[in-house]
Structure 1
Amino acid sequence: MRKLIFLLPLFFFIACKQKAKKEPVAETPTTGTIKMVVDESFAAVLADQIEVFRLDYPDTKFEMLQGNENKIVPTFLNDSVRVAVLSRMLTPEETNFYTKRSIKITTTRFALDGIALFTGNNSPDSTITVDEVISILQGNNPRGKKLVFDNAYSSTFRYFKALANITAVPKTGVYTLNNNNDVIKYVAAHPDYIGVAGVNWLLRGDRDMNDFIPQVKLMGVKNVKGKTGDDEFYKPEQRNLINGKYPFVRSVYFINAEGRTGLGTGFATWLRSQRGQLIVLKSGLAPHKITSRDFNLKSDN
């Protein structure tokens, strides 16, 4: 009897604790769970954002599916995931998928990404013009330069096809591999090729790439005549992304189709906050907006 009296409070405590664990966390801008698809070019900076965000808001959980654009957009549109991070806004047809169901989409730009052109350290080339890049993509390549992209379905490849106004690439001069790491490795070993990848990937590459990234160099790019950056060759450095002098720049968007005020709303606000923008700056991307600093000048008189 004494043992039973002693054990009853213990059983009661365990039962209450198990019940508490089963209670779901409320869905608010700073609590809950969110699933999102992320263009693999921006996975590293998103991971950094999530890490810091969860330090402030530990009752949050993020499930991130990363991949090339053609792979992740269908997942977003089949309603299994309601948040996407892309280098483009949704098309009218894609937006209509949610509009016809009366679900409002909010799109937040939080960063600018520079698409870097790079070549092997032993390559004699260190500069290229936008006109030359377009000519290569269109199959007019008298100098025999060769471009290498991550894969045929990536947002980076789509960006350059749109730039050259083409739907199909020439049989020679333009090549695709499987991912950004493959491009870096290939260009490091073949100095006569020019690799194409987001600058964030070069700055924050996988640990496995530590031996290869030092073997490539960024190229300077001159814009077409009449546009900003046509006066000299510019590299994808942050100041050149911000002032628009580097020509290959794309916006990075956080697209939220949750249809309510939940964790997606809170995280989108965080990405545009001062802390979120500082993380963008640290990643090598350019922030959506540079936060001004105010100084109070005091006089001793």
Structure 2
Amino acid sequence: MNRFIYMGAAALMLFGSASCSNNSKQQGTSESKAPASVKEDILVGSLNVIVDASVFPLLKEQEDVFLSAYPNAKLNFIAKPEVLAVKNLLEDKGSVAILARKLSEEENKNFASRSIQPRVFPIFSDAIVFVSHTNSSDTSVTIQEVLDLMKGTSTSGKRLLFDNLNSSSFRQLKSLGNLDKVASSFVEGANTAKEVLETVAATAGKIGVISYNEYLDLKLSFSNNIRILSVKNTIGDKPDNIYYKPNQSTIAAEQYPLRRTFYVLNYQPNLGLGLGFSAFLTGDRGQRIVLKSGLVPATMPGREIIVRDKI
């Protein structure tokens, strides 16, 4: 109930502010930047947003639409692998974060000591995907095969190449296998998803591990040499031992096993721009951008149907 009250209030504030903005434009008084005398509110000011680098392409799309609607706002994205993103949030380098997990009780202590209560809402579902060279004989993989590589017990001769060893993908798979340590025998780390695809496109013996959002953003550049692998659904609430490729449908139906939910974590102590941007991300326009991008929105946006008496 609190979530709906919060988001409803934010939506009303967004609508009201948008109406004022439109009136100003009609009167010829709009400006590209917020005047120094204007107090920061939910649609005015500057906001540092810490973003898990694996979904940065989608957040850039969100930014473009948000700023076109609210030109008095400014978003400064800090894109980092998950471990560094959380560290930046705890160091107050940004008050809003887009992450594939919520902060732990221990991590929240610093904010609680300052009486800051987070506003946390799901935005969309993404997935971890595996890619290989088209010359590789592999077209599928099991989670157990991946975990065996991470444990160092595999005899397949393959190697895993992660986008970053501080990434949310690495953390999720490590947690899935209850691994305290990961053997370096068959595991490597790159710096970016692009670097992963470049390496896999040139090497038949490696399996790249990136986010589905990054794959969608980069696949056209490597489409001739990259193949996305099917994964056997053996975990979660609906295991059926069938191999699925990641796509919007299999993620939404919970058939593809390596899904993960991304959240907006708003630790801004006041009702500032963090509230406005959070409301945008979880609102109809933000969710439509998610749907168009190929990921799965947390709330399916409504459809507008026009009924005419005559054709």
Partners in 2 of 1:299 and 1:231 — Cα distance? Answer: 50
CA radius of gyration, larger in:
1
Equivalent residue number for residue 217 of structure 1: 227
Q: Deviations over 1:51-108 (max 9, x none)?
A: 1011111111111111112222222112232111111110111111101110111111
Q: CA deviation at 1:109?
A: 1.0
Equivalent residue number for residue 296 of structure 2: 286
TM-score by length of 1: 0.85
- Structure 1 SS opposite 2:210: strand
Work out which of the residue numbers 101, 104, 114 in structure 2 matches 1:101: 114
Equivalent residue number for residue 205 of structure 2: 192
Work out which of the residue numbers 215, 240, 263 in structure 2 matches 1:202: 215
Structure 2 gap ranges (5+): 1-32
Q: CA deviation at 1:27?
A: 1.6
Partners in 2 of 1:118 and 1:21 — Cα distance? Answer: 45
Equivalent residue number for residue 247 of structure 2: 237
CA 1:219 to 1:229, structure 2 compared with 1: closer, same or farther past 3 Å? farther
Q: CA deviation at 1:264?
A: 0.7
CA 1:197 to 1:33, structure 2 compared with 1: closer, same or farther past 3 Å? same
Bigger Cα displacement from structure 2, 218-227 vs 43-52 = 218-227
Q: CA deviation at 1:25?
A: 3.5
Structure 1 vs Structure 2: percent identity of aligned residues? 34
Q: Give the aligned CA root-mean-square deviation in angstroms.
A: 2.3
Alignment length, in residue pairs? 278
Equivalent residue number for residue 11 of structure 1: none
Equivalent residue number for residue 74 of structure 1: 87
Partners in 1 of 2:113 and 2:175 — Cα distance? Answer: 29
Asked if the contact 1:229–1:244 (Cα under 8 Å) also holds between the matched residues in 2, the reply is: no
Partners in 1 of 2:175 and 2:102 — Cα distance? Answer: 15
Partners in 1 of 2:72 and 2:234 — Cα distance? Answer: 50
Q: CA deviation at 1:214?
A: 3.5
Asked if the contact 1:128–1:220 (Cα under 8 Å) also holds between the matched residues in 2, the reply is: yes
1:264 equivalent in alignment to 2:274: yes
- Structure 2 SS opposite 1:80: coil
Asked if the contact 2:98–2:265 (Cα under 8 Å) also holds between the matched residues in 1, the reply is: yes
1:164 equivalent in alignment to 2:177: yes
Letter matched to residue 285 of structure 2: R
Bigger Cα displacement from structure 2, 101-110 vs 23-32 = 23-32
Asked if the contact 1:145–1:192 (Cα under 8 Å) also holds between the matched residues in 2, the reply is: yes
User: Which runs of structure 1 show a deviation greater than 6 angstroms over 4 or more consecutive aligned residues?
Assistant: 296-300
